[in-house]
Structure formats: C-alpha cells, structure tokens
Structure 1
Amino acid sequence: MPFIETGISGLLVFEPKVFEDSRGYFFEAYNADTFSAQGIEYRFVQDNQSSSSYGVIRGLHFQLLPHAQTKLVRVLSGTILDVAVDIRTGSPTYGKVFSIELSGENKKQLLIPQGFAHGFSVLSERAEVFYKCDSLYNKESDGGVFYGDPALNIDWKIPSDKAIVSEKDQKQPNLADCKHNFTF
C-alpha cells in the first residue's frame, strides 16, 4: 500500500511507486483513483509552490472553516522537515506533532487534512516545495500557531541562530491561545 498511517487520524504519508531506469525515473505524484481506492476523496483546486533557502521555517499555518484546506505536500528538490499539528478540538491526539523529512530524493508526500496546523523547515541549501489544496486561499481565514510554542516542543532541526522566520510567523499565538473552529 502506498499509504502509511502516522498514528494521527487522517494524517497519512504517501509513498508513490517510482520506476527508475538508465533514463531517470517516473512516478505518479497524484492519481485520484489510487487515493479513492483507499477511501481518500479530495478534489484539489489549487497548487502552490515555494522556494526557500536553508534555515527558513514557514508555519505553523491553517485556514479556518469554511475555507480550511487539506494539503498534499511534496518536495521537488532539496529536503524539508514537514510538520503537522493536530488542532481538532476533541481529537484524542489534539496538540500532537508529527514530522517527517520530505525530499526530492525520497519522493514521499504528506497528506494533511483540515484541522491541522502545518509548517516546514528547510534542511538543504535550497528546497522547492509543491502542495495541492482542496480549498482556495482565503486571506480572512488565515490562522496560525507559533512555531516555537514550548508546549509543542518541535525540533525544527535548525539552530536558532540560523532560523529565518517571517515577522508574521514570529507573532502567532501558542496553541493554548490559538483561535480556531476545528472539531474532531
């Protein structure tokens, strides 16, 4: 099976089958039938791509309902530490952090459903990140959790003196003070 459980309901690692030969490689990064066969039914409507240098930490972000987004995240080149935090009130894993290295080399992807705060740090010199969303961006629905929340204790694998974080992300509230409308 190309889907690996993470121990958090709905949060899955997708490992596509990669075909390699002397010419290079080929794989299906997304196939609706493959996902549907596993009971995963999303209609992706927006693709996003970012380029970042070593030490960049982006997140932790989410959009409030009714504009919440499910994301399918992959890395085209370089390596990131991808992080998802369960912020669904009533979830048995509320506040639980899951992290995984995604890279252009390992081709793993992380399926992050609505109700999670998401972020990543760049571990390589540069990284190109691509992700599909099942809802369009809506600025008024922007929300976030402070990447350095001590209660979450996330190891971003970046020394603090090398971290590059936007002013917006530095001002996000801790999870305990975060306003959101997600329920399990």
Structure 2
Amino acid sequence: MTNNENQYTIYIRSTKESIPVNKKEFDAYYHDINIYRIRQQRHGRCVCPASKRLTCDMDCLTCPFHRMGDMRSLDYTETDDEGNETAWVDEIPDDSPLLEDIIIEASEMKALYARLTELMPEAIKIGEMRLEGLSEDAIGERIGIGRKTYAYRLKKVKAVLEKEFPDIF
C-alpha cells in the first residue's frame, strides 16, 4: 500500500484498535453501518456526534450514544389536555373475532356441511382423498364412478351451494 492508501482506518470498538485499510475496504465496511446509523439518528435512538461516527459498529446496546428515541414500552403512558392518562397498550386494536361471529360462522359451516352431504354424500370422501394427494382417476376408482362423472357432480353441487351460501363462496 502506498502512503495515500494507508490513511483509511477501521476502528474496532471491542478491541480498541485501528486497522489500516484501503479506500475500497473502508467504503465497503462503513456502507451498511452508515445507513443503519442514519436510520437510528432519524428515530432519535442515536446521538453520535460527527467526530465519533467512525467508531460506530452497529452494536447500539453497548454504545454510549444510544438513546430510547421513539421506541417506548407499551406501558408508557401519555396524559392528554384533560389530565387523562392512557397507556399505549390500551390503544392496541383487538383483531380477534367476536364470539357471536364465531358462533354464526360455525352454524353456517354446519348447515353447509349438512347440505353438501345431502346433495352428494361422497363429496366429503372426495375432499379427503384430494388432501391425501390422490389423482382424480384414483379417486374415481375408489368411489366406484368415473372421473368425469364425479367432476360433473361436484360442479353441479358447487353451483347449488354458491346460490344457497353466497357469503362462503
């Protein structure tokens, strides 16, 4: 390396040593670190001064310049103008379905199942065999009718069920 190339160093904070490198190695090493550091600074989690930016190794938890920033605990509380205190955890929407929706859906599925077995009793067996990975010809042989026959019947049953249960299909 020439003297011009030796002016680049990479500082290893854990061992407190500087390693001389060329420009290409320097840029490659600090590329991801700079992107990460800038992102952390935008969120207020890094207050590293410009004079110390080359000591960054993306190990924020051990860095003396690490701050909480905009990442707060769910137990963090805020007080509004009226003095009401609310925790962030209280404002998380509950995405779980309501019990009455589950009951309605279960009753619809029972009605669908009953109607399906009424229209074509072998449809459930066909579905189970499809889940096992059997081909349409093998399924036809097992239930004792031709592949085209049961495919035609399934198509007709599906059309009837689509009319009777439009929310499911």
- TM > 0.5: no
Q: Higher strand share goes to which structure?
A: 1
TM bucket (normalised to shorter chain) is under 0.3
Q: Higher helix share goes to which structure?
A: 2
- With normalisation by structure 2, the TM-score equals 0.17
- With normalisation by structure 1, the TM-score equals 0.16
